[in-house]
Amino acid sequence: MSQIALPLAWPAVPRDDAFLVSPSNARAVHLLDHWGTWSVRAALLVGPRKSGRSLLARIFAAKSGGTIIDEAEQVPEAELFHAWNRAQAERMPLLMIADAAPPVWTIKLPDLRSRIAASNVAVIEPPDDALMRSLLEHLFARRGLDARPDLLDWLASRIERSHLAVMRTVDLLDQEAFERRKRLSIPFARNALLDAGLIAPRRDVA
């Protein structure tokens, strides 16, 4: 498994943010890092919400000077069509962020559909084991919370494998620890997550 890198060598925008790289997103990072080799000056960045795709896009724009269109599925198709053509004419990259690529994303305008089909696609996959743990560690550290390695391992193996679940878990444990004046531990986390329905009951040895 590839080594986790934090942060990328690209300019960080905003300064204190970092994008964690693992096998689940390394291909997307590689594609955006090599935008100069794209056959067309346009790409889709697709992946689950809260996966860092907007941060990755801002880092890409800082490096390439390109344009970002977030939530591209919500943008009028004629606007996307003209933005795609402008990127080719000006030879400046366009990055469109979406939940999914066509055909999941239904495009009615035939000329836009053909242009999107010709575009590069960078995919952020659900987090792998390494990224789950690194995201937990990173988010706890940003909150100033002391999350020990055994807790990180336990959480990574118990919560839903998604970026959103990681964020919800950290938010919940941060709030519970503050309100109850408790330090983070596996028993504390188990009770809080069970009460919130973020993990399912099971026989478990801490």
Q: In the chain, what are the domain boundaries?
A: 26-123, 129-196
> Which tens digits make up the pLDDT trace of 148-200?
999 999 999 999 999 999 999 999 999 999 999 999 999 999 999 999 999 98
Domain 26-123 has CATH 1.10.1200.10: no
Residues whose CB falls within 8 Å of the CB of residue 90, separated by 6 or more in sequence, listed in order: none
pTM: 0.83
How many of the other CB atoms lie within 10 Å of CB of 186?
A: 17
Q: Which of 31-40, 94-103, 123-132, 196-205 has the lowest mean pLDDT?
A: 196-205
What average pLDDT does this structure show over 84-91? 97
- Cα separation, 199 vs 103, in Å, equals 33
Work out the end-to-end distance of the chain between its first and last CA atoms, rounded to an integer number of angstroms: 27
Q: Are 27 and 124 in contact (CB under 8 A)?
A: no
Which parts of the chain fold into alpha helices (H)?
A: 26-33, 53-64, 77-90, 110-118, 129-142, 149-158, 163-180, 186-196
Q: Are 167 and 52 in contact (CB under 8 A)?
A: no
Question: Cα–chain-centroid distance for residue 199?
Answer: 22
Distances (CA, A) of 154 to 32, 192, 199: 33, 14, 12
How many Cα atoms within 13 Å fall on the side-chain side of residue 173?
Answer: 32
> Which tens digits make up the pLDDT trace of 130-145?
999 999 999 999 999 9
